Amino acid sequence: MIKLPRKKSKRGPLLDGKTPIVALDIGTESIKSILFTMTEYGVSVNKISRIQQQQHAMRSGIITNLDTVLENCKLSINQLLSTLKPEEYPKSVIMGIAGEYIQGVSIVVNYEREEHFEKEVTKKEQDKIINEVKSQISVTGKEDLGMRTGLKNEDIEILHITPTGMEIGGMPVNSLIGYKGRDVKLNFYASFAPKTYTEALRKVASSLNFEVLGIVSQPFAVARAHSGGKNSNFSAIFIDVGGGTTDIAIVKNGNVGETQMFAFGGRVFTKELARLTDADFRHAEQRKIKYSEKELPKDIMRQVQKTMYTTSTLWMRTLKVALESCEDIGPLPTQIFLCGGGALLPDIKQSLMEFPWKKYLPIAVVPKIDMFTPNLLGSITDNSGDLENLYDITPASLAKFLYDMEMDRKTKDINWEV
């Protein structure tokens, strides 16, 4: 067992190309972790670890057995550190979070500079504007999540309030600093979660002696990680099919406009297969994987395919309900990107292709469906030679989120932290 160093309270430079950082995706079926460094030019992935989770460890993306998850996380981190010297060990982690109780909202704020609007915006004034908006979003966002879940304000944590676009005087800008104008338009994405969820993640980080650099809404991170994600003409629906949940993010004109999550992932397919074939969960999972890889005998393939197709049709109905709730987004994008381990099931894509989209949802044409493969990630270089799977997209996206945050801090004088 590798002994991890004690964490330091003061953060050092993160874009120096030397500081090792861990991205940790604690999924229902497996824990994925990535060891990476960052420079101003992007993220360098140096090593990847994947540890299978026990069935009782997680449910619907949420930790249900903390001791088991802690042991699995330690195994994962030990794999990352196996070839490092103690002085090379990482001290910081960026973590993802998903689940039905994670609230994510896109907000457009129109702000009027009442005084000195003829003068250029200073860093002090930009900070003031952003902080005033963040303060208001914090209050209304907690109230919205409280109404939906029955939680009190003190039981809700703000994960991040991220600026996703700015305009001043009708002109899009990366930073307000140095521009004149009265009318300011700001786009934000705000994410909130029950404190019980975030406290469990912080216990994991603390047991590993890691400083938590952020806990990030996973569908938001995935959507922003695509190489075209920030382009003003880019629109797409991202669907991350995990073991316990399906996470959706809708990007319109370069901004994440909506996220949804529902508790229907790959584990439901496995349980249904186990029930119909009178097999235990472990054997059903192995059979499902072999089915996805087309490694079963033809007669068994047909038997499994019947179950997978029926279940995927039910999954598609659930996805339809989730997309229907995104009514404020307007017409849906006509491009879909799939990722996550569950997306390896061919019946997921088949159900998407067969669904009568124009009949039930506000969409102009039947959407094009592609896989969100690692080569489509933006600002990420794979030095490990192991970043090649659909289920690696989420931890890589967490690393990309941190990179974007640090670059905005450095180049735009914008601080994403609450």
* Structural domain boundaries in the chain: 21-100+195-226+378-411, 103-193, 236-371
SS3 409: helix
What confidence score (pLDDT) does residue 4 get?
A: 41
**Residues 23-40: tens digit of each pLDDT:** 999 999 999 999 999 999
Confidence of residue 9 (pLDDT cuts 50, 70, 90): very low
Q: Amino acid identity of 307?
A: T
Between residues 45 and 110, which one has the greater pLDDT? 45
Note the pTM of the prediction, 2 decimals: 0.91
In terms of Cα–Cα distance, which of 297, 300, 267 is closest to 285?
A: 267
Q: For tokens 């980080």, what's the residue?
A: 205
CATH topology classification for 103-193: Dna Ligase; domain 1 (3.30.1490)
DSSP element (H, E) containing 192: strand 183-194
Across 47-61, 150-164, 310-324, 345-359, least confident range? 150-164
Q: For tokens 């994962």, what's the residue?
A: 76
pLDDT at 8 over 50: no
- With contact defined as beta carbons under 8 Å apart, do 142 and 192 qualify? yes
What confidence score (pLDDT) does residue 219 get?
A: 94
Architecture of domain 236-371: 2-Layer Sandwich (3.30)
Domain 21-100+195-226+378-411 CATH (choose: 3.40.30.10, 3.40.50.720, 3.30.420.40, 2.60.40.1120): 3.30.420.40
Across 1-5, 51-55, 158-162, 305-309, least confident range? 1-5
Q: Amino acid identity of 191?
A: S
Q: What average pLDDT is seen over the chain?
A: 90
Tell me the β-bridge partners of 160: 191
C-alpha span between 242 and 263 (Å, rounded): 9
Q: HSE-up of 215 (CA within 13 Å, CB side)? A: 23
C-alpha span between 209 and 256 (Å, rounded): 33
Number of neighbouring beta carbons within 10 Å of residue 110: 9
pLDDT at 142 over 80: no
Q: How far is CA 203 from the centre of its chain?
A: 20
Q: Amino acid identity of 387?
A: L
Identical fold, 21-100+195-226+378-411 and 236-371: yes
